[in-house]
Amino acid sequence: MSDLGRLIPKLPPDQEAIRAKCFHPTGTFVEFEREEINQSISTRFEKIVAQYPHRLAVKMGHRALTYRELNSAANRVARAILAKLGKGQEPVGLLFESGVEAVTAILGVLKAGKFYLPLDPSFPQGRIVSILGDSGVKLLATDNANISLAHELTHGRFDLLDVDMIDAWGSSENLSTSLSPADLASIIYTSGSTGQPKGVVQNHRCLLHWAMIYTNDLNIMPNDRLTLLNSWSAPVCVHHLFGSLLNGASLFPLDPRLSGGEQLARWLMQEQVTLYHSVPMVFRQIAAALTGKEAFASLRMINLSGAPISRNDVELYKNHFASACILLHSIGTTETGWIRRYFIDKTGQITGNAVPIGYTVQDTEVTLLDDGGHEMGFEQVGQIAIKSRYLASGYWRKPALTKAKFIPCANGGDQRIYLTGDLGRMEADGCLFHLGRKDFQVKVRGYRVEIGEVEIALLEHPAVKETAVVGRQVPSGDTQLVAYFVPTEGHVPTVTQLRSFLKEKLPDYMIPSAFMTLAALPLTPNGKLDYQALPTPERCRPALDAAYVAPKSEIEQLIATVWREVLGLEKVGLHDNFFDLGGQSLLLAQVHSKLQEIFRNDFPIVDLFKHTTIKALVKYVGQKQNGSTKNDMLENLKADKNRLKQLSQQR
């Protein structure tokens, strides 16, 4: 590494001044000491339990556990795991939605001396089966809600543990399992360029180091209340989980896919959340639903990561949140943890449209490399490389890939260099700007997606001869996947057919939002794919299984107007499926927010997942209007003609 990283101060004075404001107004901050990373996660957790037995540990909906209750439940899970597997290091699969049970299961696995493999039940069964096979797990733990799915996935090949069936009167005392900080703690699978997910392995020391950095930079203390809005199988979940539970703070999981912006805002206020963390898209949903009358009295920090943010996001923060609240733009990877952060307060000015990812964190040195591996200077664009002794252990059962991505330092020692594949530009004061991916990875809704995996899945469709998938930035600043394909002769599949096919293979965030049929993929003179020549996706309605039927009634046309606005399409049909038109869960949340405003009725967003055509939605809304007839609904809408006219004229 060059002097570029070593000469950079940890934080310049203006950034340090903002960070210094990041304290909970009550209580005393206690630093996470470095010696605390040289133990197991369960040992640190049990110390916290002894300090704060009656403090709230985790809450989702009406289900809540204190630290003593959570520890007792985790101890019972650990004993159940040991009864099935015995002692020794090995992975345990966990099939849960985000929530109290998932948190309990993670701690139970760690207390048993095993390492956990989180699996999201919403992922396609084929993907979960592939991960289970690659990981070599012998035991899959789940709950009553997912036990049927677990049986479908395993077909008797793995042992199952239903945590809801564990004897509540069994021993809840701490176990005496002996663990080293170098023992493995987790495998988290991310998208793989070969078409198969790859598992990133972390040990206890690294995860505790992540928790130390997160704690000390954000001054997390027991009075804090942290969100967990990511899928619990996402890498960033680790920061929220251990940043709260290893400090005596409270954790609040929630699935934002099942909540609109208005409900999320209300939830933040009701639960008195102090530290909010999400991908930018979820934050934008919340901001779009705010009226200006909300008072987020407890909120002291908004942390956005997983995708770039813009000056518009900073303005949303300034317009809707209190002066005491700080905005943080941060970045990290599954392999490195948190590597950069940039603090913003109400007085901060962003000169360009892009917001920097900021300055280095403790124990992490960042440099930029050219294609030949040579170090770049300031104001030059290069690949971001991370030097640290707290990197991931490597990729599960992939020694060649581990060797290629994790490079030993030339001067020896226990530090290694990880090549992120991200491009960056560093200013003279050490401030780093993220400039996208060097290779074929993109970030979609906070998830890292290998383009190759999507292309391989699409090529398995019998009517697809060639394909190219790219990530394109939309006006909101988010990235959406666009699939270009050349069909086999005489067979042109519809978008409905392609989406249905991919849903069996890929999680929803990896399914392209748009599909474009081409006669041939454009090539450069040397025979490579010419990405610059790929056409921009059209705003017209895609080819679907359902024939186009124009919305006719005022209510149908009004809902169609909302769909067109959210999806960026010029027309949508009465029987078109929202998801086949390029919609996804976070866009559906925008539809939900607009419809609740229009119809002045509060209905759960989960119902929109059941009524995904305009025809079905009109019928559903009619049923929700407290028994009103369709004529009554029209009269209610006509009572506010100016608002209706404004909505109808959009797009």
- Report pLDDT digits (tens) over 53-110: 999 999 999 999 999 999 999 999 999 999 999 999 999 999 999 899 999 999 999 9
**60 secondary structure, DSSP code:** E
CA–centroid distance for 422 within its chain: 18
Contact predicate 94/109, CB 8 Å = yes
Superfamily name with CATH number, domain 554-648: ACP-like (1.10.1200.10)
Give the model's pLDDT for residue 258: 79
Tokens of 136: 């070599």
* The pair of three-digit structure tokens given for residue 317, joined into one six-digit string: 């923060």
Say if residue 428's pLDDT is above 60.
Answer: yes
The whole-angstrom separation of Cα 465 and Cα 215 is 50
Distances (CA, A) of 209 to 218, 337, 357, 596: 14, 9, 20, 44
Q: Do domains 34-224 and 554-648 have the same CATH topology?
A: no
CATH code reported for the domain at 449-533: 3.30.300.30
The rounded distance, in Å, linking the Cα atoms of 48 and 42 is 10
pLDDT tens across 346-366, in order?
988 888 777 899 998 999 999
Q: How far is CA 58 from CA 30, 115, 208, in A?
A: 21, 21, 19
pLDDT at 554: 85
Residue whose C-alpha is closest to residue 431's, from 484, 378, 496, 482: 378
Mean pLDDT of the chain: 87
Q: How much is the pTM?
A: 0.79
Q: Strands 406-408 and 326-333: what pairing? A: unpaired
Residue 651 has pLDDT above 70, yes or no: no
Q: How confident is the model at residue 446 (pLDDT cuts 50, 70, 90)?
A: confident
Distance CA 10, CA 208 (A): 21
Tell me how far apart the alpha carbons of residues 476 and 310 are, in angstroms, rounded to a whole number: 9
Tell me how crowded residue 71 is: count the other CB atoms within 10 A of its CB: 26
Superfamily of domain 34-224: ANL, N-terminal domain (3.40.50.12780)
Q: Where are the domains of the chain?
A: 34-224, 449-533, 554-648
Q: What is the mean pLDDT of residues 133-151?
A: 95
Per-residue pLDDT at 244: 97
CA distance 3 to 66: 48
| DSSP letters spanning 122-137 | TS-HHHHHHHHHHHT-
Pick the closest to residue 89 from 201, 9, 223 (CA basis): 201
State the Cα–Cα distance between residues 471 and 455, nearest whole angstrom.
12
